Amino acid sequence: MKTPAADIDPGILERFESFIKEKGLRRTGQRDVIVAAAFSTDSHFTAEDLWEMARKIDPSTSRATLYRTLSLLTESGLLQEIDLGRDQKYYDPNFVEHPNHNHLICLDCGTVIEFSDENMAVIEDCVTRRLGFSSVRKDIRIEARCEEFRTSGHCKRGKK
């Protein structure tokens, strides 16, 4: 089996393979292509984006397999579905490296900024515990206006 995943984090492939094996499934060339595509970037992407990325590695990649593999990736926790407040679902490959990050979306230029904050995490945990639960996963999206844009009419990140 060819491994088009040559230059992605070996830890990811390893985690993917052990997840796959645990479920009694098989590691295939096609799945490797899709995993490689998903982790070839640190940008957020849609299913369609990922399909295009995968097809650059292997043009025969079908949408069906893409969606099937996407499910495996989210189920394994390697990829996380995030809500950017847009019409489509987006997937975030950065949770492996930054397990607790959140998203801020700039309403002026559309940029998505990832951030983590220890205090925030602690309070969320307190509140959750006070309600009688223990937190498993969270998805926090803040939509905000850029101060720079407000004062000067533009911001360094450019426009939407």
- Pick out residues in 119-158 that bind a second copy (CB under 8 A): 119-120, 123-124, 127-128, 131-148, 150
Minimum CB separation of residue 8 from DNA in Å reads 17
Rounded Cα–Cα distance for residues 38 and 64 (Å): 16
Q: Does 94 bind a second copy (CB under 8 A)?
A: no
Asked if residues 155 and 148 have their Cβ atoms less than 8 Å apart, the reply is yes
User: What sections of 2-117 are H helices per DSSP?
Assistant: 10-22, 29-38, 47-57, 63-75
**In this complex, which beta carbon is closest to a second copy, that of residue 20 or of residue 105?**
105
User: Which helix H or strand E contains 118, and what residues bound it?
Assistant: helix 118-130
Minimum CB separation of residue 49 from DNA in Å reads 10
Could you count the other beta carbons within 10 Å of the beta carbon of residue 130? 8
Could you give the C-alpha distances from 5 to 34, 36, 127, in angstroms and in order? 9, 5, 41
**In this complex, which beta carbon is closest to DNA, that of residue 57 or of residue 112?**
57
Q: Does 67 bind a second copy (CB under 8 A)?
A: no
**In this complex, which beta carbon is closest to DNA, that of residue 46 or of residue 111?**
46
Report residue 24 as tokens: 């009694």
Interacting residue ranges for a second copy, rule: CB under 8 A: 81, 83, 85, 104, 106-107, 113, 115, 117, 119-120, 123-124, 127-128, 131-148, 150
